[in-house]
Amino acid sequence: MDVFSDPANRDVYITGFLWILKLTLAGGVGALVLGVLLAAMRVSPVPVLRGFGTAWVNIFRNTPLTLIIFFCYFGLFSTLGLSLADDIDLNNFWLGVVGLSVYTAAFVCEAIRSGINTVPPGQAEAARAIGMSFRQTLTIIVLPQAGRAVIAPLGSILIALCKNSTIVGTIGLMESSNAMKDLINANGDAVIPIFLVFAGTFAVVLIPTGYAFGWLANRLAVKR
């Protein structure tokens, strides 16, 4: 591991994974918020909202993430002039977050909707019988139970999001995949050690994350 004994190479490695963690955190929050809204639309009594939610899910689930990231950069930024930050790295970061959020939200939506379907219909009917609105029924009765039922699927989506974050490197952000490429270009005789370090870091972070979500899902599972 002589490559990583060089402070400059260590900085490249650490900086790359810090970008990945930031993309995962920001993209995860954005996808969760948007996904819950889309799930509410999918089960809404308003046909227009149901149609919008269905269209969003079908379009973004079946569009390659690379194309979405490219659209955010070449469409929103280069063509339409939408700049989200003055610094080029921050701008690319936030464009990546937008792309990751809108893409991942489609999967979060379907996970939440599957959780909503596990809630017995009688509970929603009882809530409506005592005069609760659709919004109150959803937020007070249904979503808290649905959320506990889909912790494991949401964990899988978060893990996939972390790995998908490397695609943001295609628009110039120096995340882990670009960092690995630069280190390999500069140290061609150490390809395998560099690859093992980067792959191992993902494994060290994501495998415990998967087990943690599995444990949390069992701990918070709704007993019926």
Per-residue model confidence as pLDDT tens for the chain (224 residues): 578 788 888 899 999 999 999 999 999 999 999 999 999 999 998 999 999 999 999 999 999 999 999 999 999 999 998 899 989 999 999 999 999 999 999 999 999 999 998 888 888 888 888 888 888 888 888 888 888 889 999 999 999 999 999 999 999 888 899 999 999 988 878 888 889 999 999 999 999 999 999 999 888 876 65
Could you tell me the two tokens for 58?
């079908």
Residue 2 in domain: no
Residue 1 in domain: no
The pLDDT score that the predictor gives to residue 93 is 95
CATH of the domain at 56: 1.10.3720.10
d(CA 36, CA 110): 9
Residue 134 in domain: yes
Query: What is the full DSSP assignment across 12-69?
Result: HHHHHHHHHHHHHHHHHHHHHHHHHHHHHHHT-S-HHHHHHHHHHHHHHHTS-HHHHH
DSSP-derived secondary structure letter, 130: T
Residue 110 in domain: yes
Residue 158 in domain: yes
Q: Determine the 3-state secondary structure of 119 from DSSP.
A: coil
Q: Which amino acid is at 11?
A: D
State the residue range of the domain holding 57: 7-220
How many other C-beta atoms can be found within 10 angstroms of the C-beta atom of residue 39? 27
What's the total number of domains in the chain?
Answer: 1
